């Protein structure tokens, strides 16, 4: 009984902290939008708009154009022959350009290069569905989730239409650089495998469409946090009846069922292809969704089952590291050893939303009555963490088999880069240090993203060094 009461108390604290952080992000976005609107109105009153200055021939400010075009639903076009774009892929509960007003998931890092794209993918949809969305975001056309997958999961096969892709010339001769944060890294890996498998009807794709993949705190091998949040450690697929994830499930279902247009335009969990709107299913449909009879949570076609260790193992069993693609990963940690025990490395240096999870993940022990998630699993290997992911999970793909890798202390140690090898660094930081609020990371923010972008522009190429586009330090 006492244990049950403690569990309820922990659930209450976790729910309150996460709701407060969500409210902070949402209210900050609204406040920023209102402030910009007020400034724009005041500016119009004070002066007449000056004619726009035409850019120099052959140069397109993709970042600025993309932000304008995203807001009105159009897609910016990247010129033929331009340097490969850098595509920043957000993680769980994330958002792309055009959502949450002018807020940036990557805290403005996209402004460091003229050719950066920030797609808006489903924030809670499965890795598979997000990978399909990412392809059509870049190439153009109507999102096709696949006939077999759609039937198995019970959702519409087709989704959003991109009349013009954000990088329609994408192919072997015009590849892209991907930077994925958290679950975004695994999304890119699944997309990469789909490209190699020619899984997009009407497109002759290959693995060489991806020039480089940078994983930033990437969920490459799952995380023990999912079990604290509510996934069952026994199978990595089912949810506990009372948990943080159950509260999340109820909130998402009600949010999508209410289907308030302006609110969903501002932030969307990405389940439109499940057609959960009250206009479609009515009140009886809401009851079915809440009871777990229908919807993404019933079919387990959402992101959390993909983030358990078992889920990552199932995905990784089908994913390869390709010989012509460059790989680099940054693994974050906020733990240290104290008298042989793994503990949080600091109190003030960890975001309040993550501190409890850092402590819990240090103490995780796989249930004795549950089968081990993979052969050779040891609890001690999974103690170091950043509050969301275990450090061992972020370095390189390890399960069910280890991919070629090399530990890096200084960036200069890995030059020249060799494709087909996962270079990785371990850096101090919690899971959200390098997103949302750049002030938290301070100078580390610029050092990290400058290093990533410079690597993409100067060190990751197949034939000859590319022409480096104009860069603006922030």
pLDDT, tens digit, 9 for 90 and up, residues 8-57: 777 787 788 878 888 778 777 777 777 777 776 666 555 555 554 444 33
Whether 425 is in a domain gets the answer yes
Domain that holds residue 123: 1-21+82-457
Contacts of residue 16, defined as CB under 8 A and 6 or more positions apart, other chains included, come to: none
Three-state SS for 275-337 is CCCHHHHHHHHHHHHHHCCCCHHHHCCEHHHHHCHHHHHHHHCCCCCCCCCEEEEEEEECEEE
Q: What average pLDDT score do residues 105-111 get?
A: 96
Encoded tokens for 300: 């387990």
Whether 103 is in a domain gets the answer yes
Question: What share of the chain has pLDDT > 90, as a percent?
Answer: 74
Is residue 287 scored above 80 in pLDDT?
Answer: yes
Greater model confidence, 78 or 445? 445
Whether 363 is in a domain gets the answer yes
Q: What average pLDDT score do residues 334-352 get?
A: 94
pLDDT at 61: 39
Greater model confidence, 38 or 315? 315
Greater model confidence, 48 or 278? 278
Whether 100 is in a domain gets the answer yes
The mean pLDDT of the chain is 88
Strands 341-344 and 141-144: unpaired
CB 442 within 8 A of CB 349: no
Greater model confidence, 30 or 281? 281
Whole-model pTM: value is 0.89
pLDDT at 472: 43
Is residue 125 scored above 70 in pLDDT?
Answer: yes
CB 428 within 8 A of CB 409: no
How many Cβ atoms from other residues are within 10 Å of residue 69's Cβ?
18
pLDDT at 24: 75
Whether 124 is in a domain gets the answer yes
How many Cβ atoms from other residues are within 10 Å of residue 190's Cβ?
23
pLDDT at 245: 96
Whether 309 is in a domain gets the answer yes
Least confident span in 51-65, 180-194, 298-312: 51-65
Whether 60 is in a domain gets the answer no
Least confident span in 208-217, 292-301, 404-413: 404-413
Whether 34 is in a domain gets the answer no
For the chain, how many structural domains are there in total?
A: 1
Supply the CATH number for residue 347's domain.
3.40.50.1820
């Amino acid at each position: 009984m006492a244990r049950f009461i403690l569990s309820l108390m922990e659930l209450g604290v976790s729910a309150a902290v996460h709701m407060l952080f969500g409210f902070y992000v949402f209210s900050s976005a609204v406040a920023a939008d209102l402030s910009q609107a007020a400034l724009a109105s005041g500016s119009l009153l004070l002066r007449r708009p000056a004619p726009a200055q035409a850019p120099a021939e052959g140069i397109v400010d993709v970042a600025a154009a993309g932000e304008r075009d995203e807001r009105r639903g159009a897609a910016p076009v990247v010129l033929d022959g331009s340097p490969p774009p850098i595509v920043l892929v957000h993680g769980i509960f994330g958002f792309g350009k055009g959502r949450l007003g002018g807020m940036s998931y990557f805290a403005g890092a996209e402004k460091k290069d003229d050719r950066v794209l920030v797609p808006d993918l489903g924030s809670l949809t499965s890795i598979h569905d997000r990978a399909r969305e990412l392809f059509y975001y870049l190439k153009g056309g109507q999102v096709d989730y696949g006939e077999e997958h759609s039937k198995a999961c019970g959702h519409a096969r087709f989704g959003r239409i991109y009349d013009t892709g954000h990088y329609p010339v994408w192919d072997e001769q015009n590849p892209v650089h991907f930077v994925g944060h958290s679950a975004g890294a695994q999304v890119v890996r699944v997309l990469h495998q789909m490209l190699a498998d020619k899984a997009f009807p009407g497109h002759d794709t290959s693995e060489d469409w991806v020039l480089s993949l940078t994983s930033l705190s990437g969920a490459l091998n799952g995380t023990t946090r999912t079990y604290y949040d509510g996934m069952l450690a026994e199978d990595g697929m089912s949810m506990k009846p009372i948990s943080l994830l159950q509260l999340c499930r109820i909130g998402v279902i009600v949010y999508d069922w209410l289907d308030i247009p302006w609110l969903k335009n501002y932030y969307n969990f990405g389940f439109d292809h499940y057609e959960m709107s009250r206009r479609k299913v009515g009140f009886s449909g809401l009851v079915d969704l809440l009871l777990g009879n229908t919807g993404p949570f019933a079919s387990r076609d959402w992101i959390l089952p993909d983030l358990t260790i078992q889920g990552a193992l199932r995905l990784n069993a089908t994913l390869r590291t390709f010989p012509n693609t460059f790989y680099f990963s940054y693994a974050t940690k906020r733990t240290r050893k104290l008298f042989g025990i793994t503990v949080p490395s600091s109190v003030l240096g960890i975001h309040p939303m993550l501190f409890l999870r850092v402590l819990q993940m240090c103490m995780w022990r796989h249930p004795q009555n549950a089968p081990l998630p993979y052969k050779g699993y040891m609890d001690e290997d999974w103690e170091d963490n950043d509050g969301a992911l275990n450090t061992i999970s972020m370095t390189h793909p390890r399960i069910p088999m280890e991919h070629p890798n090399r530990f890096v202390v200084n960036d200069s140690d890995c030059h020249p880069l060799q494709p087909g090898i996962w270079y990785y660094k371990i850096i101090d930081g919690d899971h959200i240090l390098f997103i949302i609020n750049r002030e938290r990371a301070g100078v580390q923010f610029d050092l990290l993203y400058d290093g990533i972008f410079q690597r993409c522009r100067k060190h990751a190429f197949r034939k000859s060094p590319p022409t480096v586009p104009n860069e603006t330090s922030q």
